[in-house]
Every structure is written in C-alpha cells, then in structure tokens.
Amino acid sequence: MAETVRVIAGTALSDGHATPGMDRRLALDTGSMWSGLVHTEPGAETGWHHHDGFETTLYVVSGVMRMQYGPGGEQSADAGPGDFVNVPPGVVHREVNPTADRSTAVVVRAGSGTHVINVEGPDPG
C-alpha cells in the first residue's frame, strides 16, 4: 500500500493530553511523533510536567511563552511570535503566560514513552 499525504483541518483538532492551565489540541499522533497546538490563557501558570522520552519543539504563533525549568523551577526562557523553543526529553517544566493576551504555539514532539507526565514540580536541586 502506498503512503499518502494527509491534511488535518484546523477545525478537526481534538483534545490533547491534559495539563492544568493549558489547552492542547491534537492534530496527529503516530506513536513516535505528536503534533498540534497549545493555547495558554492570559496570566496562566500551567502545571509542572515533562514529556518522558519525547523531544519537543514549539513554534510561537502569538503571545509570549515563558518556559520555567531547572532546579526549583528557577530558570526561565521567554519566546515570542516567530521564535522556536526546544524542550529536551524528560525536562520538567511549565509554561507561563505573563501577558494579558492568549498565547498560541504549534507543537511537534518526537520520541517514545508517555507524551505527558504531570508532576508536583521540579527537583529542588
């Protein structure tokens, strides 16, 4: 059977894995690759989580995405429209939206394991 090209309409996205404070929208999950959107509401701090053996890349479409990570969650990196964010496998992090506008990012995750593991927080270091 020949491989085919698929188009997933933006209106056909389904609910993604749940983490408090964010709205993940699933476009495609092949088992080794996950793609979709994530929306973070103004002022939100999401729950702490990691993506097991999956490496994650986010492309920020709109708003500001602050990634908190590291010992005690004390490190952070801000990304805005047009920026890419890379989260290595297993890194405990959370998204923060420090603005009054909703943020949206396209997400592609590749690897293996459990897509989302919600945790209490990062190790204190």
Structure tokens at 89: 């496998």
Residue 1 has pLDDT above 60, yes or no: no
Longest dimension (CA), the chain: 51
pLDDT tens-digit profile of 27-41?
999 999 999 999 999
Which pLDDT does position 125 carry in this prediction? 76
Please report the domains of the chain, with CATH numbers, ordered by start residue. Answer: 37-118 (2.60.120.10)
Which helix (H) or strand (E) is 29 found in, with range?
Answer: strand 22-29
Which helix (H) or strand (E) is 34 found in, with range?
Answer: strand 33-40
pLDDT tens-digit profile of 55-97?
999 999 999 999 999 999 999 999 999 999 999 999 999 999 9
CA 118 distance to own-chain centroid: 12
CA 72 distance to own-chain centroid: 20
Model pTM score: 0.90
Which pLDDT does position 2 carry in this prediction? 64
Which pLDDT does position 5 carry in this prediction? 94
